[in-house]
Every structure is written in C-alpha cells, then in structure tokens.
C-alpha cells in the first residue's frame, strides 16, 4: 500500500535526481530508498524516471507526479496544522464591535449563548463609537 513516505522519498529524489544524495538527505540508506522508489513505480504502474545509465531524469509522468505529490504533502501538513490550531481554539477568531448601549444589554446574553454553542471560537470584543 502506498503511503506518504513514498511521496516524501520520491520528491527528494526527483529534486536532486541522485538516489545516493537523496538518501543522505533523508537519513536512510541508498538501497532502502531505491526499494521505495521501485515500489512506488510498481504500485502506480508508472515509470517515474528515465534511467539512461546513471543519469536520472523525470519522465513526463514523473514531472506531473512531482507537482501532485508536493501538493499532497502540503495538504497533509495543512491538515495537521489546522487540527492543532482548532485545538487551541483558533477555529474562528471572531472580532465583534459594539456600541456601549448595545454592549450593556444585548451583547452579554447573545455572547453567552453563542459561546455555549461554539466553545472553541475565540470572541474578541471591541467597543466602538457610533459611525453617523
């Protein structure tokens, strides 16, 4: 089964076109990396690299996959950070302006109900002067 690991490894190889150097950067041994790339190509059923001797180049499909794989890794990271932000209550930081007259009556009650429904939304209050 293909995992994110395969994408991480592929992106590194695709960028320096040199398995041994990529392996160093990834802190793994060269054969392990070679194996992962082969497995990736096998499961995709797609040749990602042209091997002309020791000269690696991306195939057309490899080029496409590089872009998509990077996007996938970014979305993966984004998912993690989003969850972490949400856990810190930054789901939606809501800035709320009010006039002092309204603030004394409407705001506290409404706010209380809102916060019981959305306990993780941080509400920031700003008292404001009337505009007209």
Partner DNA sequence: TAAAAATACTCCATAGGTATTTTAT
Partner DNA sequence: ATAAAATACCTATGGAGTATTTTTA
Among the residue ranges 33-41, 58-66, 69-77, 84-92, the one whose residues contact DNA (CB under 7 A): 33-41
Binding a copy of itself by CB under 8 A: which of 29, 32, 82, 102?
A: 82
Helix axes 19-26, 30-44, angle to 10 degrees: 110
Among DNA, a copy of itself, none, the one that 7 touches (CB under a kind-dependent 5 to 8 A) is: a copy of itself
Which residue matches tokens 């309204």? 102
**Alpha helices (runs of H) in 2-51, residue ranges in sequence order:** 4-16, 19-26, 30-44
Measured distance between the N- and C-terminal CA atoms of the chain, rounded to whole angstroms = 64
- Decide: is 22 part of the binding site for a copy of itself (CB under 8 A): no
Choose, by CB under 8 A, the member of 7, 14, 23, 107 that binds a copy of itself.
7
Residue with tokens 């991480």: 8
Q: Name the E strands within the chain.
A: 49-52, 55-58, 94-98, 123-127
Q: Number of residues interacting with a copy of itself: please give it, by CB under 8 A.
A: 37
Residues that bind a copy of itself (CB under 8 A): 1-5, 7, 44-48, 59-65, 68-69, 71-72, 75-76, 78-80, 82-87, 91, 118-120
């Amino acid at each position: 089964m293909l995992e994110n690991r395969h994408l991480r490894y592929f992106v590194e190889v695709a960028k320096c076109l040199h398995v041994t150097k990529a392996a160093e950067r990834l802190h793994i041994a060269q054969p392990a990396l070679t194996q992962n790339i082969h497995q990736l190509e096998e499961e995709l059923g797609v040749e990602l690299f042209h091997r002309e001797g020791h000269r690696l180049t991306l195939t057309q499909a490899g080029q496409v996959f590089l872009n998509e794989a990077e996007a996938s890794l970014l979305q993966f990271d984004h998912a993690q950070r989003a969850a972490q932000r949400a856990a810190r209550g930054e789901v939606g930081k809501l800035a709320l302006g009010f006039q002092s007259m309204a603030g004394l009556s409407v705001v506290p009650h409404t706010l209380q109900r809102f916060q019981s429904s959305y306990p993780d939304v941080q509400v920031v209050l700003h008292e404001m002067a009337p505009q007209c």
